[in-house]
Amino acid sequence: MLHQIWQLGFPWLRKRYVFNSYLLLGSLGIVVATTIFTFRISKSVERQAYLTTELLSGVASRLFTAQDLDEVLPIVEIINGNEVPFILTDNAGRPIMWNPAVIGIPLPEYSILHQANLSQAHNPVITEILSLAEIYDANQEPFAILDDEGVRLGTLHYGRSALSRRLRIMPYLELMVMALFFLLILWALQSKKEAQQQALFAGMAKETAHQLGTPLTSAMGWLAILEEKVGKSSEVMRELNRDVDRLSMVSARFSQIGSLPQLQDTDLNELVDESVVYFQKRLPHLGGRVQLRREGRSTAHVLFNRDLLGWVLENLIKNGIDALVDGKGTITVKVGDHPTGGARITISDTGRGIPAGVGNKVFEPGFTTKKRGWGMGLALVRRIVNQYHKGRITIESTSSHGTTFLLVLPLADSIL
C-alpha cells in the first residue's frame, strides 16, 4: 500500500512544477498581448486628439479676426465640445480662451483676458492657466495659429484627453489584476498540494502504524516468555523491554500523524536528555568512533508533543550519524533560548555536509541524498515542527565539514 501511495502522490508533485511553469508563461503572454494592444489603442487615441487639435487651430484663428460676438459664439461651442484640453494664447502670451468644462477652470470675462498685463501681478486664474500651458508644451508641441496670409495670431497649447490618460494607466492596472489572479491560482495550487501531502503523510503514517502493530504485539508476547525463563533483572531483558517500549512509542507517533496532536507543558531539557541518552547507549555498537555531546539548557516556556518532538530529535541525530564519514565524528545537540523568544535546538554533525545548491530541498517529500530511503524523514520533521508546533526548522549552516540544523519553538503564550 505504501508503494501505491508513493506512485499516486509524488508524480503529481513533480508535475505541479511543470504545470505552474506553463501557467506562468501563459499568464505573461496574456499580459504582454493585452499591454501591447492597449498601448496601440492609446497611441491611436492620441493621434486622433492631435488631428482634432490641428483642425481646431485652424478654426481658432477666427477668434482673433472676428468682428462681433455672433461670429465667436459658434467657435466657442466647438471649443467647449472638444474633449482635448487646450489653451489659446495671443502673441503677447495672454490666454484668451480655453475649454473650462475639460480643464476645470472657469473662463473670466473676455475683456479681463485681453487687458491682462503679464509684466505685473494679475488674476490668479491667468497664472494657473499659463502654468498649465507650460505643462502642456513640455509634453506636446503647441500649434501656431495663422491667418489666411500666414501671419501668426497666437498659439494653441493642448494636453492629453481624459480617455488618453485612462488608457495609459490601463496596462498597469491589467498587470496588477493579472498578478493578483496568478497569485490566487498559486495559492489555490499550494493549498491543494498541502491537502494532498497531508493525506499522503497521514495514509503512510497510519499504514506504518498498522503494519507495526502485529509484529510488535507478537514481540511483546515472546518477550514475556523470555522474562519467565531469564528473569526481569537481566540487563539484556531490560534493554529489550526498553526497545519494545520504544517501538510502541514509534507506532504511537505514526498514528498521530494526520491528526491534531495535543501539546503539553513539560520540560524540554528532559526530552532532549532522553533522546541523547538513548543514542549514547547504542554508540558502542559503532566501535566508539562517534561522540554525542549535549550542551546548554533552555528556560523558555514552550508547548510540545513529547512523542512527536522526540521523534524529530531522534531523526535529526540519526541523520547526523549517517552523514559521518567512515562512521567517525561528533554530533552536538545544543539547547538554549532564542533571542526573539522561545527555545532553540541546534543539532550539528562533522559529516560530509549537504551538496551545494541543495539547501532546504532536503525538507521536500521524496528528496534524499542516501542510496536507500524514501526521503520522507525530514519532510515529516518539518511538518511536525512547522504545522503541529508552529515553529520552524532550517539548515543554519552546511559545508564539507558538517551540517547544522536549527529548530525553533515559539513561546507558549504565542500559540495559546
CATH number of the domain residue 46 falls in: 3.30.450
User: Domain end: 135, 160, 185, which one?
Assistant: 160
Residue 5 lies in a domain: no
Q: Tell which residue, 398, 389, 372, has the closest CA to residue 380.
A: 389
For the chain, how far is it from start to end, CA to CA, in angstroms? 38
Note the pLDDT of residue 7: 44
Residues 198 and 337 in one domain: no
Note the pLDDT of residue 317: 92
User: Total structural domains in the chain?
Assistant: 3
Residue 189 has pLDDT above 80, yes or no: no
Q: Are 295 and 333 in contact (CB under 8 A)?
A: yes
User: Domain end: 142, 160, 178, which one?
Assistant: 160
Residues 193 and 115 in one domain: no
Residues 120 and 24 in one domain: yes
Counting other chains too, the contacts that 276-284 makes at CB distance below 8 Å and 24 or more residues apart are 276/317, 276/333, 278/246, 278/314, 279/314, 279/317, 279/318, 279/321, 279/331, 281/239
> From CA 152, how far away is CA 147, in angstroms rounded?
7
User: Domain end: 129, 160, 191, which one?
Assistant: 160
For 303-327, how does the pLDDT look when each residue is reduced to its tens digit (9 = 90+)?
Answer: 998 888 998 998 899 888 888 888 7
What pTM was estimated for this model as a whole? 0.51
Residues 194 and 138 in one domain: no
> From CA 70, how far away is CA 60, in angstroms rounded?
15
Give the helix ranges, DSSP H, for 231-289.
Answer: 235-256, 268-280
Residues 89 and 223 in one domain: no
Residues 288 and 194 in one domain: no
Note the pLDDT of residue 2: 42
Residue 1 lies in a domain: no
Range of the domain at 278: 264-414
Residue 52 lies in a domain: yes
Residues 152 and 210 in one domain: no
Angle between helices 162-230 and 235-256 (to 10 degrees): 150
Q: Tell which residue, 172, 189, 177, has the closest CA to residue 27.
A: 177
For 10-46, how does the pLDDT look when each residue is reduced to its tens digit (9 = 90+)?
Answer: 444 455 566 666 766 777 777 777 777 777 777 776 6
The domain that holds 383 is classified in CATH as 3.30.565.10
Residues 40 and 142 in one domain: yes
Average pLDDT estimate for 247-270:
77
User: How many residues in total does the chain contain?
Assistant: 416
Angle at 99 between CA 98 and CA 100, to 5 degrees: 105
For 29-66, the DSSP string reads HHHHHHHHHHHHHHHHHHHHHHHHHHHHHHHHHHHHH-
> From CA 253, how far away is CA 209, in angstroms rounded?
8
Residues 292 and 342 in one domain: yes
Residues 304 and 326 in one domain: yes
For 145-167, how does the pLDDT look when each residue is reduced to its tens digit (9 = 90+)?
Answer: 777 777 888 888 888 777 777 77
Note the pLDDT of residue 13: 46
Residue 171 has pLDDT above 90, yes or no: no
> From CA 138, how far away is CA 247, in angstroms rounded?
81
Mean pLDDT of the chain: 76
Q: Are 127 and 116 in contact (CB under 8 A)?
A: no
Angle at 366 between CA 360 and CA 367, to 5 degrees: 40
Residue 5 has pLDDT above 50, yes or no: no
Residue 372 lies in a domain: yes
Residue 22 lies in a domain: yes
pLDDT band at 1 (very low <50, low <70, confident <90, very high): very low
Residues 271 and 407 in one domain: yes
> From CA 289, how far away is CA 144, in angstroms rounded?
94
Question: How many CA atoms lie within 13 Å of 11's alpha carbon, on the beta-carbon side?
Answer: 6
Note the pLDDT of residue 228: 72
Residue 302 has pLDDT above 50, yes or no: yes
Residue 259 lies in a domain: no
Note the pLDDT of residue 333: 96
Note the pLDDT of residue 296: 94
Residue 233 has pLDDT above 80, yes or no: no
pLDDT band at 268 (very low <50, low <70, confident <90, very high): very high
Residue 326 lies in a domain: yes
Residue 101 lies in a domain: yes
Residues 190 and 315 in one domain: no
